[in-house]
Structures are given as structure tokens and as C-alpha cells.
């Protein structure tokens, strides 16, 4: 009996998370259990007056969670199948994801206001990297992601996400990445995020004890900076929309690139080099 109520409460929580009230959730689950039922049976099941039940059913119909049909001259209700419900929720999520670039552009429309977002825990931390990926849609072909990288003590789960998902997705955009990497970050295994960036992007490796970042700083879009603190004991990220901070860190990056230009590691050109034309002596 305990398990029954436990799972029932868990189902209620899952459905309520999709935007239904407690009463609407009870009505939906009752209809789902009955498969096809008149109002009177539903009202008894959820312990509601019939007029209140009608209002709940009307609200659920408007939200496309339930449907009605006439059986033996009596109006009956049936619920949207769970798989169809999942497809509906997934479609909403996909629509929201497709609209994120426009939403971000709207959020950034006031250029005079500094905005700061804080992301904590692994899944929210990934959201900060998703913003970097989405900014690649808006960046021009001549623009680059500029990245300071230091990856010692990186969270192993985060490193897997960065190497297997984030970098491959970022590289699909027309923008390139230039990286300045702390030498100490390359002492770990060859699958590390720092090694991956050194291999795949234009990069400089700085071997100087004074240079110690303890995090990653990504300078992207027109006015955004993402500061990723991804150590095992401090997993959090800051996304700052600030033109002055963006320009200041960009100037520091360009200065270091000029100072250490002799160490610049270039990736192959986007366009394959043309083969030399063989000329035959006449």
C-alpha cells in the first residue's frame, strides 16, 4: 500500500511539473485510469462536485490533455496517451530551443545594461556552454571565439561533455577558436579538454609560473564573457554581458598572443590548399 501511494504521488508530481494544477492532475490521471468515463464517474473518483469537475475537464480540453466523445448518448472523456503526451511536451521543448537565439537577442537588446547569470551544478553548468554554442550562430565568419584554458582538477563528467559534445558542436559553426592554454593543463591524459583544444584550434601554450588561471574564460559574441570555474570543488559559471569587460579581456588576449606569437600553433586552413600545377617543359 505504501508503494502504491508513493508511486501515485510521484506521478502527481511529474504531471504537475508540466503545468497542470493539482485538481487538473487528479482529473487527468483518473481519466487515464478509466480510459473512457462520464463526468459522474470522474467526479466521484476525484472527490469533486460535478460543476467543479466540468470546469476542470473544460480546462484540460483547452490544453489538449483530454478529449470527449458521445457514447450511448452520454458525453464521455478520454485522456491523451502517455506517449503522445511525451511527444507534445518534447515538441514544446524543441520549439523553445529553436527560439533561444531570438530570445537571447531580445535579452541583449539593451546594450547599456550589464547582465550577469550564475550557473551552478553540472547540468546548469552545461547551459552556460550552450549559450556559447548559440552565440556562434550570431557571430560573423571573420570573428573568433577567444579562450583562456586551464583544466587541472576538472570535473571528469564535465570533461567528457566538453570533449564529446561541446567542442564537436561548436566546430560545426563558421567561427574559429583561438586558445591560450596554461602549460600545466597539458600534463594530464591526451583526452583532456586542453589537449583537445591545442590539437583542434589555433593556440598558444604559455609555460610560465606567473600565468595561472584556474578556470576557463571564453570571450564570445559582441559583448559576452563566460567564466567557467570547473574544478571538482567549485563547479559554477558566470556569463557576463558587458561591452567594457568583453573589450578589456579581448585586449589582454591579443596582447598575450602578440608577446607569445613565436609559439602560435596554427590549425589547417578551412579551405584545402591548392595542389601545385605541374608545368611541362616544351
Calpha distance 123→220 (Å, rounded): 21
pLDDT digits (tens, 9 = 90+) for 31-70: 888 878 888 888 888 888 888 888 888 888 888 788 888 8
The answer to whether 148 and 172 are in contact (CB under 8 A) is no
Predicted pLDDT of residue 247: 92
Parent domain of 114: 108-263
Q: Are 122 and 199 part of one and the same domain?
A: yes
Q: Are 170 and 40 part of one and the same domain?
A: no
Predicted pLDDT of residue 246: 92
User: What pTM was estimated for this model as a whole?
Assistant: 0.53
The answer to whether 249 and 123 are in contact (CB under 8 A) is no
Per the structure block, which three cell numbers stand in for 128?
552556460
Rg (CA), the chain: 28
Give residue for cell 518534447. Answer: 90
Domain assignment of residue 234, yes or no: yes
Q: Are 78 and 140 part of one and the same domain?
A: no
Domain assignment of residue 96, yes or no: no
Q: What does each C-alpha distance from 158 to 34, 125, 163, 235 come to in angstroms? A: 45, 9, 9, 9
Q: Which among 51, 248, 259, 73 is positioned nearest to 146, based on CA atoms?
A: 248
Domain assignment of residue 247, yes or no: yes
Calpha distance 148→183 (Å, rounded): 12
**Count of domains observed in the chain:** 2
Specify the higher pLDDT residue, 102 or 32: 32
pLDDT digits (tens, 9 = 90+) for 170-222: 777 666 788 888 887 776 554 577 777 777 777 888 888 888 877 889 998 78
Q: Are 112 and 222 part of one and the same domain?
A: yes
Q: Which among 175, 167, 117 is positioned nearest to 146, based on CA atoms?
A: 175
> Across the chain, what does the average pLDDT equal?
77
CATH code at position 26: 1.10.10.10
Q: Are 17 and 61 part of one and the same domain?
A: yes
Q: Are 252 and 172 part of one and the same domain?
A: yes
pLDDT digits (tens, 9 = 90+) for 130-160: 888 877 777 776 678 899 987 767 778 888 8
Q: Are 64 and 128 part of one and the same domain?
A: no
pLDDT digits (tens, 9 = 90+) for 255-278: 988 888 776 665 444 444 444 444
CATH code at position 219: 3.30.870.10
Residues recorded for the chain: 282
Amino acid at each position: 500500500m505504501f508503494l502504491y501511494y508513493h508511486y501515485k504521488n510521484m506521478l502527481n508530481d511529474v504531471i504537475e511539473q508540466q503545468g497542470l494544477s493539482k485538481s487538473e492532475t487528479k482529473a487527468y490521471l483518473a481519466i487515464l485510469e478509466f480510459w473512457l468515463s462520464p463526468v459522474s464517474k470522474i467526479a466521484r473518483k476525484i472527490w469533486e462536485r460535478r460543476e467543479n469537475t466540468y470546469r476542470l475537464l473544460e480546462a484540460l480540453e483547452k490544453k489538449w490533455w483530454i478529449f470527449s466523445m458521445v457514447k450511448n448518448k452520454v458525453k464521455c472523456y478520454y485522456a491523451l496517451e502517455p506517449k503522445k503526451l511525451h511527444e507534445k511536451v518534447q515538441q514544446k521543448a524543441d520549439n523553445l530551443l529553436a527560439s533561444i537565439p531570438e530570445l537571447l537577442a531580445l535579452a541583449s537588446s539593451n546594450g547599456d545594461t550589464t547582465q550577469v547569470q550564475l550557473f551552478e551544478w553540472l547540468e546548469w553548468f552545461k547551459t552556460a556552454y550552450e549559450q556559447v554554442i548559440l552565440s556562434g550562430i550570431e557571430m560573423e565568419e571573420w570573428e573568433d571565439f577567444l579562450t583562456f584554458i586551464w583544466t587541472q582538477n576538472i570535473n571528469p563528467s564535465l570533461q567528457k561533455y566538453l570533449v564529446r559534445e561541446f567542442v564537436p558542436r561548436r566546430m560545426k559553426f563558421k567561427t574559429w577558436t583561438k586558445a591560450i592554454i596554461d602549460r600545466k593543463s597539458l600534463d594530464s591524459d591526451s583526452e583532456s579538454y586542453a589537449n583537445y583544444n591545442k590539437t583542434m584550434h589555433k593556440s598558444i601554450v604559455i609555460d610560465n609560473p606567473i600565468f595561472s588561471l584556474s578556470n576557463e574564460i571564453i570571450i564570445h559574441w559582441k559583448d559576452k564573457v563566460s567564466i567557467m570555474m570547473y574544478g571538482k570543488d567549485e563547479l559554477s559559471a558566470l556569463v557576463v554581458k558587458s561591452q567594457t569587460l568583453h573589450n578589456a579581456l579581448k585586449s589582454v588576449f591579443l596582447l598575450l598572443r602578440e608577446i607569445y606569437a613565436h609559439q602560435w600553433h596554427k590549425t589547417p586552413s578551412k579551405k584545402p590548399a591548392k595542389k601545385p600545377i605541374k608545368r611541362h617543359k616544351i
